[in-house]
Structure 1
Amino acid sequence: MTDQAVQSGGSSEPVEASPRDVRKAVAGSAMGNCIEWYDFGVFGFMPAILGQVFFNASSTSEGALATFALLAVTFVIRPFGSVILGPLGDKLGRQRVLALTVILMSGSTFVIGLLPSWETIGPAAAVLVVLLRALQGFSAGGEYGGAATFIAEYAPDRKRGFLGSWLEFGTLVGFFMGAGFVTLFTILLGDENMREWGWRLPFLIAGPLGLVGLYLRNKLEDTPVFREIEKQKQVAKSPLKLLLTQHWKSILHLVGLVILLNVGDWMMFGYIETYLKDVLGLKGHTPLLIVMGVILAMLAVIVPIGALSDKIGRKPMLLGCCIGYLVLAIPAFTLMENSKTETGVDAVMLGGGLLLIGGCLVLFLAVVASTLPAMFPTQVRYGAFSIGYNFSTAAFAGTAPYIVGSLVDATGNTLWPAFYLMGAAAIALVPILVLPETRGLSMRGVASSTDPHGNGKTEAV
């Protein structure tokens, strides 16, 4: 690759990365996100077994509760990881920190597959798995913000929507793989063998996945945009201080936006399976297979939607998601609830409800990686994105399934998931409305989330 910036009279002439380097950047970024969500898929779809293995749970419900508490550890630790790893990525470079996060995430998941059980070493098993989950959460705090930043800073401005959508494509693939391997091994080995030793296999697969991710990321140079400020000696000496003192309003702006993303994500991938079991009475692997079917449908459309955002803009997608949840959440859950019949479930009504929920969510997912990095200057982009995103995730993502499930149990009203989505959409509406259109916006010279280049205009390179 040629030098990306040539100085002339204090200005710089940006040079775009080669198509080959852009493809490598997208693949390396998406792979790390795939590993992160692979881990969530594995944990999320065999909670009862893991609770019995590591916490000596006496029943499946007690085991599931213990595992969901373990998942919460990841969310609690993520903001701490973002505060350390995010600014580090702004100081040392994106590539170095992303190589570290993929090692920590895949390594911690792999080692869990090697741990002895409670039956072998007693409470020490619980301590070890909590420590490894904490490490995974710490690394995840620096993963998503860095991966999105990496793609956004490599992508040509007019193709950032298309290329950024591959990051969330990796998210969906990772979750699908995690859930899929759990289902596959359960079917092949049976419940008893899964409890005895088969549970280890999905975790061990994270090792080879991590090696692939590390290989892809080590083959990359840092982003052209970061190397420009490095060459011009404009890297912030204290990115954390700079982002907290000068860009805290943009961070709060991002938090308000991603409340909807986080609630929608975890409603779809963390609660719907429980809804299908508890409210509709579906048994066995059927709820999981239904969720996996929804993921496949989202995979089919997410990249085309990202490409469409390069033509019509990001805001129509964000507003479509927001207004969609405000208007369609109650009809969606009403359809699903009414799909229950005396002989089973009406597949058309159930599919229609899931289509409404997943369809709204994929509009946001397709543009998140192209929209949010454009809210911050290069000097603080990694850290500001990571901190805002992960504090919002810790507060609203992991708690959503628990809160919604508790409200349904306490009141008997099965529309609480719809009300919760509508509340998140109402909160996000204002941040979305004040967000400038970032289609074609240069990643260079961004000033703030509401006035990208400090002059009330969006500019394209």
Structure 2
Amino acid sequence: MSDTATRTAGPHTDQHGRRRVLVSAALGQFVEFYDFVIYAYTASVIATLFFPGDSRVASMLATFAVYAVGFVMRPVGGLLFGHLGDRAGRKGVLAIIILLMGASTALVGVLPTYEQIGILAPILLVVARLLQGLSVGGEAIGSNALVAEHSPPARRGGYVALAYAFGVIPAVFAALFVLALNSVLGEAAFTSWGWRIPFLLGGVISLVGIYIRRRVAESPAFEQTKRAERVAKAPLLSVLREHRRALGFAFVMASLSGLGFYSLTGYFPSYLSEAVKLTESESLIANSVALTMAFIAMPLAGRLSDRVGRRPMLVAGALSSALAAVPAYWLASSGSLAPAIIGESLLAITLGIFFGTVGIVWLELFPTRTRYSGAAMSLNAAYVVFGGTAPLFSTWLVDATGSLLAPAIYLAVLSFLVFVVACRIPETYQVSLVQGEDRTVR
């Protein structure tokens, strides 16, 4: 029986169980991205407390360098948790991941500052970021794989896009939370101790995620592969030996996902406040509106990809992002709030079309027996190169060129290159997640 023919014949989950899996994945995505974006939204304070110095640009560059350090561990986490997830199943691994994420985020919230312990303060901050990166390396792919493998085949793009969209909500929540704390506590109190509250909250949220994840069922696709005795003994080696082309496609798609997402969440708030000179409140408001637009666009794009296919939506998202990047940054850099909202929202919507489709594509490119390892390897390698460096490199571009549009040109060029590759990516929306090699020996 062909993969296409079995698209509607695979294992499935009842609606109640599927809802629980979706909530579990959404919470995991929330904690994962909350942990990272809260650092970006408090970057100005962290620069002051952990990297004091005469040059503000140098302090911000050091802060974003530590932000990028967390991404160094993402491939390690992807390899470790991908191997465990493909060997032992998705459920238990995801519970460990969310616990580690919450603990490392709470650790940042209790760290002493440079004034209190000197150089040890930024060193401990780096350790916390490395632990965050390790956990994040396994979260996005693992939780999305669990959703996809529990979903009805004809609707899995929409389900995964909805779960993935909850990675955008933390940025909105974090922005509004930081804004509220600043308003209630005042700038002096927030800089002194209030900045710690968002990090401690991340630890509390992770406990809720652990409770829910312990109650979800294991992936039906993984269980079917296990019954067929086709679980890979060395998933990573299998991927490198048998799925190099899929790795390449997944890496290229993840490059735009990484740069786009962390430009919106990790760089734009500081870009608007530090380079454009909007107030902190105006920067956070603009960012919150834009990311809300992305949250709306993502599930719509995912659902549409279930109807027209993944390739047309990837092509549309990448091309529209290439065309929108420079006008979006031009509007955002005008120096007033309304154009900043319009410009950033325009970019968020075009990128949202791409984000809403790419989450399921990473999974469909690989069979169940190596899905977690293959997709995690591609995603995390690209995020190290393009995601973690987005705030740092964009800040450097503006400083080196003197142009507020320099980051836009970088994004536009990469978006166009991804568009070219997306035109050649294999169509996967009618391929069964339980593929031939998951059922029989090759």
TM-score by length of 2: 0.91
What letter is aligned with 2:166? G
Alignment partner for residue 399 of structure 2, among 401, 404, 409?
A: 409
The Cα of 1:413 is off from its aligned counterpart by 3.1
User: CA separation of 1:373/1:185 partners in 2, compared to 1, >3 Å: closer, same or farther?
Assistant: same
Distance in 1 separating the partners of 2:46 and 2:118: 14
Alignment partner for residue 353 of structure 1, among 343, 349, 359?
A: 343
Distance in 2 separating the partners of 1:281 and 1:114: 30
User: CA separation of 1:300/1:232 partners in 2, compared to 1, >3 Å: closer, same or farther?
Assistant: same
Distance in 2 separating the partners of 1:426 and 1:195: 41
The Cα of 1:93 is off from its aligned counterpart by 0.8
Deviations 1:32-67 (A, max 9, x none): 111111112211111132234344556765543332
CA contact (8 A) 1:374 1:446 kept: no
> What SS does the corresponding residue of 1:236 show, helix, strand or coil?
coil
Distance in 1 separating the partners of 2:173 and 2:226: 38
Return structure 1 stretches of 4+ with deviation > 6 angstroms: none
User: CA separation of 1:446/1:297 partners in 2, compared to 1, >3 Å: closer, same or farther?
Assistant: farther
CA contact (8 A) 2:301 2:356 kept: yes
1:311 aligns with 2:307: yes
CA contact (8 A) 1:31 1:170 kept: yes
Distance in 2 separating the partners of 1:357 and 1:270: 14
Distance in 2 separating the partners of 1:262 and 1:210: 23
Amino-acid identity (%): 32
What corresponds to 2:319 in structure 1?
323
Cα RMSD between the aligned structures?
2.3
What corresponds to 2:65 in structure 1?
69
Alignment partner for residue 416 of structure 2, among 421, 426, 447?
A: 426
What corresponds to 1:213 in structure 2?
209
1:373 aligns with 2:363: yes
Distance in 1 separating the partners of 2:114 and 2:404: 37
Q: How does 1:23-422 map to 2 (within 5 A)?
A: 23-56=19-52, 61-337=57-333, 339-340=334-335, 345=336, 347=338, 349-422=339-412
CA contact (8 A) 1:104 1:136 kept: yes
Worse overlay, 384-393 or 50-59: 50-59
Distance in 2 separating the partners of 1:153 and 1:161: 11
The Cα of 1:365 is off from its aligned counterpart by 1.4
Distance in 2 separating the partners of 1:51 and 1:427: 34
The Cα of 1:313 is off from its aligned counterpart by 2.1
Distance in 2 separating the partners of 1:132 and 1:32: 19
What corresponds to 2:4 in structure 1?
none
CA contact (8 A) 1:82 1:390 kept: yes
The Cα of 1:76 is off from its aligned counterpart by 1.1
Distance in 1 separating the partners of 2:337 and 2:376: 42
Distance in 1 separating the partners of 2:265 and 2:101: 20
CA contact (8 A) 1:255 1:391 kept: yes
> What SS does the corresponding residue of 1:276 show, helix, strand or coil?
helix
> What SS does the corresponding residue of 2:429 show, helix, strand or coil?
coil
CA contact (8 A) 2:166 2:295 kept: no
What letter is aligned with 1:401? P
- Highest CA radius of gyration, 1 or 2? 1
TM-score by length of 1: 0.88
What letter is aligned with 2:204? P
Distance in 2 separating the partners of 1:373 and 1:19: 22
CA contact (8 A) 1:408 1:414 kept: yes
The Cα of 1:156 is off from its aligned counterpart by 0.9
Deviations 1:387-425 (A, max 9, x none): 110000001112123223322322233332232122212
Distance in 1 separating the partners of 2:372 and 2:55: 43
The Cα of 1:355 is off from its aligned counterpart by 3.2
Worse overlay, 315-324 or 100-109: 315-324
Distance in 2 separating the partners of 1:281 and 1:433: 39
The Cα of 1:195 is off from its aligned counterpart by 2.3
CA contact (8 A) 2:37 2:174 kept: yes
CA contact (8 A) 1:48 1:61 kept: no
> What SS does the corresponding residue of 1:234 show, helix, strand or coil?
coil
Worse overlay, 120-129 or 258-267: 120-129
What letter is aligned with 1:332? A
Deviations 1:237-271 (A, max 9, x none): 11121112222221111111121211211222233
What corresponds to 2:433 in structure 1?
443
The Cα of 1:441 is off from its aligned counterpart by 2.7
Deviations 1:159-187 (A, max 9, x none): 11211112222101122222222221111
Distance in 2 separating the partners of 1:306 and 1:267: 21
User: CA separation of 1:279/1:133 partners in 2, compared to 1, >3 Å: closer, same or farther?
Assistant: closer
CA contact (8 A) 1:22 1:154 kept: yes
> What SS does the corresponding residue of 1:171 show, helix, strand or coil?
coil
CA contact (8 A) 2:225 2:434 kept: no
CA contact (8 A) 2:61 2:395 kept: no
Distance in 2 separating the partners of 1:442 and 1:312: 17
User: CA separation of 1:434/1:379 partners in 2, compared to 1, >3 Å: closer, same or farther?
Assistant: same
Distance in 2 separating the partners of 1:309 and 1:286: 35
Worse overlay, 196-205 or 383-392: 196-205
> What SS does the corresponding residue of 2:112 show, helix, strand or coil?
coil
> What SS does the corresponding residue of 2:167 show, helix, strand or coil?
helix
Equivalent pairs counted in the alignment come to: 432
Q: Where do 5+ consecutive residues of structure 2 fail to align?
A: 1-8
> What SS does the corresponding residue of 1:434 show, helix, strand or coil?
coil
CA contact (8 A) 2:174 2:198 kept: yes
Deviations 1:290-335 (A, max 9, x none): 1111112222333233222222222222111111123333333344
What letter is aligned with 2:159? L
